[in-house]
Structure 1
Amino acid sequence: MKKNLPAVLVVLATFFTISFITNILGPIFPELIKSFDIGIALAGFFPFAFFAAYGVMSIPAGLLAQRIGEKFVMLIAFSLAASGSLLFALLPNFAFAMFALFMIGSAMAFLQVAINPLLRRAGGSEHFAVLSVVAQLLFGAGATLSPIVYIGLAETAQNSNSLMNVLVPEQMEWLSMYWLFALVCLGMLAWSTLTRFAVADDELVANYTLGDCTALFKNKTVIKFFFAIAAYVALEQGIANSIAIFLQQAHELDAKNVGAKVVSQFWLMLTIGCMVGLVLMKLFDVRKVLVWFCLGAGGSLITAILGSAELALIAFPATGFFLSIMWSALFSLALNSFAQGHGAIAGILCTGIVGGAVASPLIGAVTYLSGSLTLALCLLFIPLGYMVYVANSSNPLVNNHTFRLFEKKSPEQEA
């Protein structure tokens, strides 16, 4: 299969962009509560509106990618994301904010569905697990940079002589990020338009229908990985969106200066974890690495929510380190478990990102009912346990390519 480096580069940049936009919700979560004068339970519907879009839009996106091609889907997505960002920036009230976040979430769903099969095809299926970790590394880099840029833009917006002071209302400096998101999406729209995405796979033009996609839900392997993706995103977003508010409530630490920085460190450690994961995936089977990292994440999370303030400041970023390879491992195991139909399957898998919509409202509801955010965060051990089960029960058609220092070669990889 001929490689397509320009397409790989666009895909990797898209992973960075998705993360840069998606993972601002955690750092600005306390500011959303303050700006809209709402409680933590109601504020949980902001990430719900964003991630619910994955549940609605991923299968249609998979059908479009399968039948028309990834480039068309990506162009729609970047246009939609730019429009949603501008709507949020121009009309910052609760109702429009929910709608704008749904638009942006829909765009991210389109992108996730398009770029994962494209990365597998453009880079080679046997290298997909490693390329996915590279993509996750850039995903982590985008999430690390997002809170840092937010702090800088917020400070700039407070300057009466700055353009941001004119564009964003007083006490809503976080809106400056959505002006930036609109510009970034327009830039990615132009880059994607100018990049050639060669079709090297007959399956892209297969006549997949909604019925065909729905039928895939009867496949036990598809169902298993659908819930695995949902579990991972619920875990990731449940932690990231809770860090700042947890440090504020449990340890009385400033949400903007301390909380946002810890969220940034969480994503920085996720990026570092990807580098370590790249090495491990070239030495060991991806299923083993996934189990090891799940256990590490569990230990770090229990330390963060039950330990002292000093331990929490270390343990929350440590959970990011161990989350680093989970998405890549699960998605590569899923697609490599099937010989064809990867666009449609990716659409179903990305529907599982709706798990991110469930996590924050559920944590908020349990916090409201129990009066304990610590107790609510213990729910996150459920998705961790499920991912360990998936790792141990997976049987892909194509294993990740390793240096074979510790693993026995399969007949397919000897060929």
Structure 2
Amino acid sequence: MKSKTLFHMLPLLLGFFVMGFCDIVGFLSDYVQRAFQWSDVLTGFVPSMVFIWFLFFSIPAGNVMNRIGRKTTVMVSLALTIVGMVLPLITYTTISCMMAFALLGIGNAVLQVSLNPLLGNVLTDSRYLTSGLTAGQVVKALSSLFGPEIAVLVVTRYGDDSWYYCFPVLGAITVVTAVWLWLTPIKREQGSGASLSFRDTFRLLSDRMVLLLFLGILMVVGLDVSVNYMGSKLMSARFLWDSADCKYAPQTYFLLRTTGAMLGSVLLTRIDAVSYFRVNIVLCVASIVGLILSESASLAIVCFGCIGFFASSVFSIVYSVAMQHRPEHANEISGLMVTAISGGAIVTPVVGYCISIMGVVGGLYIVLACALYLLVCAYAVKHT
């Protein structure tokens, strides 16, 4: 990779760090509840105020990119994020905090749609694009780790009611990202300039490969959310671990997923992405089967780690293949793929229902079904 290309990538990778800030909202919800005496129902709605916007804004953001370009769309998303972080500092009320979380969610949805394809303006080689997307997911994961730590430091120093003092720190990083990106010369893509409707975008799903990959994103998000959701439940129900020890299952999954993504970002510059996808998803399916059959707590923890490791690069590969399948519609396809992220949330209620009627193994069968679909997807796509 040329040094100039690497220099252009740096503000984009910092953009992925900003993308991870939304994960702090779930952590902050308890502090907001105590500050305003919110009910459990209203507090439970806080994370939705962030992630529901993926459903409503992803496709419009993709269409807007056709008119104003990817870099400008990223700048708009960063501006929305900054406004959301400044709002509680100006006026600290229930309404202003809800509006702040909503703006963070809208900004994050637009950023997800626009930042990934903007990376394609810098990394034109398909191998480097998939690797770059995987590296971006690593940076986003690191942000998800550091965000709560910043909030804890602020709360420890200034008290629970001052939780929003973490926003100036996160906002400053966002401002630096925006300025750096604005000053970085990135080749502008040749957009169609056309104004497209929801129907025009959803019509792309009539393409069998686009539909296959759209559902692939839905399934990999569903798998990821479900394994995190089920980790503690399985260790408690099957091996009678207490709550303090149960945390090791999702922690192991997250640690190995991050490690796998870091390794994937390196290997995908040298290995064909589809071949890498096929090998990893086969091993991921085997790990889930091992988890279903495991009678040892140690083996179960190992299986959780293996699932995270082998599934770590799947999102980036599926997203990259989708973008390259119909490059003339890359902006609209990006919107579709990010919409599928919100759709992945429907898998968790299905997992919960199966657990209620079949026990914890019922939820694992749903996770296995997601992985089996991705296995079909891996052998249906062509080599890049």
TM-score normalised by the chain length of structure 1: 0.74
Q: How many residues align?
A: 374
Secondary structure (helix, strand or coil) at the match of 2:326 reads: coil
Instruction: Work out the CA distance in 2 between the residues paired with 1:317 and 1:152.
Output: 27
Counterpart in the other structure of 2:16: 15
Cα deviation for residue 383 of structure 1 reads 1.9
Tell me how far apart the structure 2 counterparts of residues 80 and 116 of structure 1 sit (CA, whole Å): 18
Check conservation: 1:232, 1:326, Cα contact below 8 A.
yes
Provide the residue aligned with 1:354 in structure 2: 342
For residue 260 of structure 2, the aligned residue among 254, 273, 283 is: 273
> Corresponding residue for 1:195?
184
Q: 1:73 to 1:279 in 2, by over 3 A?
A: closer
Give the counterpart letter for 1:329 in structure 2: I
Cα pair distance change 1:280/1:152, threshold 3 Å:
closer
- Whichever residue aligns with residue 148 of structure 2, its letter is Y
CA RMSD of aligned residues (A): 3.9
Give the secondary-structure state (helix, strand or coil) at the position aligned to 2:206.
Answer: coil
Q: Distance in 1 between matches of 2:341 and 2:367?
A: 15
Aligned to 1:136: 134
Helix, strand or coil for the counterpart of 1:251? coil
Q: CA deviation at 1:208?
A: 4.4
Query: 1:64 maps to what in 2?
Result: 64
Aligned to 1:146, the other structure's residue is in SS state helix
- Cα deviations across residues 49-69 of structure 1 (Å, max 9, x unaligned)? 543322211111111112211
Q: Secondary structure at the match of 1:217?
A: helix
Partner Cα separation in structure 1 for residue 378 and residue 160 of structure 2: 49
Gap change, CA 1:24 and 1:235, over 3 Å in 2 = farther
Calculate percent identity across the aligned residue pairs: 23
- CA distance, structure 2, for counterparts of residue 395 and residue 236 of structure 1: 24
SS in 2 for 1:206: coil
> Does the Cα contact within 8 Å between 1:12 and 1:138 map onto a contact in 2?
yes
| 2:382 is aligned with 1:387 | no
Residues 1:116 and 1:30: Cα distance change in structure 2 (over 3 Å): closer
1:186 equivalent to 2:187? Answer: no
Cα distance 1:279–1:179, how it changes in 2: closer, same or farther (>3 A)?
closer
CA spacing shift, 1:99–1:308, aligned 2, 3 Å = farther
Describe the shift of the 1:75–1:350 C-alpha distance in structure 2 as closer, same or farther (beyond 3 A): same
What is the rounded CA distance, in whole Å, between the counterparts of 1:360 and 1:45 in structure 2? 16
Question: Is the CA contact 2:49–2:98 (under 8 Å) kept in the aligned structure 1?
Answer: yes
Counterpart pick for 1:327 among 293, 299, 315: 315
Cα deviations across residues 288-340 of structure 1 (Å, max 9, x unaligned)?
A: 22122112223334555655544444433332211221012111211222241
Partner of 1:408: none
Match of 2:241 in 1: 251
Is 1:163 the counterpart of 2:158 in the alignment? yes
What's the CA shift for 1:214? 3.7
Whole-Å separation in 1 of the counterparts to 2:81 and 2:112: 13
Look up the match of 1:228: 216
Aligned-pair distance for 1:241?
4.5
Contact 1:62–1:344, Cα closer than 8 Å, also in 2: yes
Shift in alpha-carbon separation, 1:278–1:5, aligned structure 2, 3 A: closer
Letter in 1 for 2:11: V
Q: CA deviation at 1:358?
A: 2.0
Question: Residue 275 of structure 2 is aligned with which of 265, 268, 288?
Answer: 288
* C-alpha distance in structure 2 between counterparts of 1:373 and 1:38, whole Å: 26
Kept in 2, the 8 Å contact 1:113–1:350? The answer is yes
Partner of 1:370: 357
Tell me, yes or no, if the aligned pair for 2:226 and 2:348 is still in contact at 8 Å: yes
Letter in 2 for 1:236: D
Q: 1:113 offset after TM fit, Å? A: 1.6
Partner of residue 196, structure 2: 209
Residues 243 and 151 (structure 1 numbering): CA distance in 2 closer, same or farther, change over 3 Å? farther
**What displacement does 1:151 show?**
4.9
Distance 2:227 2:101 in 1: 20
Summarize the Cα distance change of 1:240–1:346 in structure 2 as closer, same or farther, 3 Å threshold: same
Match of 1:406 in 2: none
Native 8 Å contact 1:228 1:386 kept in 2: yes
Counterpart residue type for residue 220 of structure 2? Y
TM-score normalized with structure 2 length:
0.79
Q: List gaps (5 residues or longer) in structure 2.
A: none
**1:344, 1:366 → 2: CA distance?**
35
Q: 2:131, 2:265 within 8 Å by CA — same for their partners in 1?
A: yes
What is the alpha-carbon distance in structure 1 between the residues aligned to residue 99 and residue 351 of structure 2? 22
Question: Could you tell me how far 1:71 is from its partner in structure 2?
Answer: 2.0
Partner of 1:112: 112
Distance in 1 (CA, whole Å) between partners of 2:242 and 2:93 is 28
Amino acid aligned to 2:337: L
The amino acid that maps onto 2:13 is L
Asked if 2 retains the 8 angstrom alpha-carbon contact of 1:80 and 1:107, the reply is yes
Aligned residues of 2:63 and 2:332 also touching (Cα < 8 A): yes
